[in-house]
Amino acid sequence: MEQYKAHHSFVRRVVRNLRIHYKRALWRFVIQSSRAVKRGLDIVLSLAAIVLLLPVYALTAIAIYVDAPGPVIFTQLRAGRFGKPFTMFKFRSMVVKAESEKAALLDQNESSAGVIFKMKRDPRITRVGRFIRKFSIDELPQLFNVLRGDMSLVGPRPPTLSEVAQYSLSDRKRLYVAPGITCIWQVSGRSEIDFAGQVKLDVAYIQSQSLWTDLRILLKTIPAVLLGKGAY
């Protein structure tokens, strides 16, 4: 009888361990498959968008140069997934020496948290820059970042390296996934949402991330951009 009980207990442990390993393997497969599908959609949709928006790229580049001669594209190091730095592309919406002039404006930062810098009437923004920011046209070059794999179409917005240096451990949860061109808080209020609210929404997105969530955010991005609400 004792031998039977010992054998039965051993079999139960083996079966339990097999179930655990099976569930872990299944979960890894689901995660990897989801990432592969997301990456595939990123490539297809961003490539299609680039082709369709070529006239917009050309007109924007000309307008920027005529309004404020200088480089049309602004590049900056941003933090990607797990904080890995990458070069992010944007249409230049400010004067050429905007970064060097930022120090003189820090005391006018309108962000309550102090981690990010925001000014509704930033004097460094050009006339064309104000327009392309209002309708997020300045972000269109980031479609090339998506093609390169630096970013995704949907995900938390990529922070600057100086912002990440001020992150708390809780804030760093935003870095668990690839950054995106659009995100949940951009379709919920954009710049009107404070930093704490942005982090809360980003973490909620990461925890409930799915293909359908991404598609909903992409669809909601269109009216949010066209209305230009909360952008500056």
Residue 170: the pLDDT is 86
Average of per-residue pLDDT values in the chain: 83
Residue 20: the pLDDT is 65
Residue 150: the pLDDT is 96
Which one is predicted more confidently, 99 or 218?
218
Which one is predicted more confidently, 187 or 221?
221
pTM recorded for the entire structure:
0.78
Which one is predicted more confidently, 226 or 130?
130
Residue 176, SS3?
helix
| Contact partners, residue 198, CB within 8 Å, separation at least 6 | 156, 157, 185
- Cα–Cα distance between 128 and 91 in angstroms, integer? 10
Instruction: Express each pLDDT in 61-110 by its tens digit.
Output: 999 999 999 999 999 999 999 999 999 999 999 988 877 767 667 666 65
Which one is predicted more confidently, 11 or 50?
50
Query: Which tokens belong to 121?
Result: 């009437």
pLDDT above 70: residue 15? no
- Cα–Cα distance between 175 and 161 in angstroms, integer? 12
pLDDT above 70: residue 6? no
Residue 29: the pLDDT is 47
Give Cα 28 distance to the centre of its chain: 24
Instruction: Express each pLDDT in 25-34 by its tens digit.
Output: 544 544 556 7
- Write down the residue that tokens 């083996």 correspond to: 14
Residue 229: the pLDDT is 63
Across-strand partners of 158?
A: none
Which one is predicted more confidently, 153 or 104?
153
The DSSP-derived string for 101-144 is HGGGGGGG---SSSSS---TT-TTB-HHHHHHHHTTGGGTTHHH
Which one is predicted more confidently, 7 or 219?
219
pLDDT above 90: residue 186? no
Q: Which amino acid is at 177?
A: V
